Amino acid sequence: MIINMKDLAVKDHAVRVSESVDLTDFLSGRQDLTSFGEVNADLTATFAFPTVVVEGTLTIPVTMVCSRCLGDVQDVLRIPFRERFTREAPAPDEEEAEDLHLVSEDEVDLKPYVEEAVWMAIPYIPLCSETCKGLCPDCGTNRNERDCGCRQETIDPRLAGLADFFK
Ligand SMILES: [Zn+2]
Ligand SMILES: [Zn+2]
């Protein structure tokens, strides 16, 4: 997954980077991923003096754990990707730009940038469904599968005495 800055500047001007990459080494530490496939990068690198803009979409199939019911969440993450690379020191107004990278070699390996984009895109709180009812905090039943019948409403402690009174 390498682009050549010099070739882009002097002859190609734009190249398509369409590649699948195995991120097993990189992602194996993520406890929140049960499994994952290769990331597919569909990117275009375009020379626009003095920078090369690489943009497109990353897709990666993942299985995560629902943060409410602990069930599987299968999803294909579609991740917008945009990074810029330059061989020249950025202009002062560009120095802070997060997507602009000053590189010293002609060849730039996109893999670390792809890895970072995937890492950031993994949902912090995955849900199997927006309406997932989760596990019962009392008995642990998966409330998507059946209603355990436990009482869920919490009684205001100031009214607890009153509730006892009516029993
Ligand atoms: Zn769930
Ligand atoms: Zn219950």
Per run of 10 residues, the mean pLDDT along the chain (length 167 residues) is 93 93 92 94 94 97 95 96 90 80 93 96 94 94 93 63 62
The pTM of this model reads 0.81
Q: Which two tokens stand for residue 131?
A: 């309406």
Phi–psi pair at 42, nearest 5 degrees: -120, 95
Q: Which two tokens stand for residue 53?
A: 């803009």
Please report the pLDDT score of residue 155 as a whole number.
58
Please report the pLDDT score of residue 81 as a whole number.
97
Strands (E), 37-145: 39-48, 51-65, 72-86, 100-102, 107-109
The pocket of ion ligand 2, defined by CB under 5 A, consists of 136, 138-139, 141, 148, 150
Please enumerate in sequence order all residues whose Cβ is within 8 A of that of 20, keeping only pairs 6 or more positions apart, or say none: 38, 39, 40, 41
CA of 35 to the centre of ligand 2 (A): 30
131 CB neighbour count, 10 Å cutoff: 8
Instruction: Compute CA 152 distance to the chain's CA centroid, rounded to the nearest angstrom.
Output: 34
CA of 166 to the centre of ligand 2 (A): 24
CA of 143 to the centre of ligand 1 (A): 9
Phi–psi pair at 68, nearest 5 degrees: -100, -45
Burial state string for 64-98 with b = 16 or more CB within 10 A and e = fewer than 16:
bbbbbbebebeeebebebebbbbbeebeeeeeeee
| Alpha carbons 115 and 22: distance in angstroms, whole number | 10
Please report the pLDDT score of residue 31 as a whole number.
87
Please report the pLDDT score of residue 88 as a whole number.
83
Please report the pLDDT score of residue 118 as a whole number.
96
Structural contact between residues 117 and 73, judged by C-beta atoms closer than 8 angstroms: no
Please report the pLDDT score of residue 67 as a whole number.
93
CA of 132 to the centre of ligand 1 (A): 5
Please enumerate in sequence order all residues whose Cβ is within 8 A of that of 125, keeping only pairs 6 or more positions apart, or say none: 67
Please report the pLDDT score of residue 156 as a whole number.
62
Structural contact between residues 145 and 134, judged by C-beta atoms closer than 8 angstroms: no
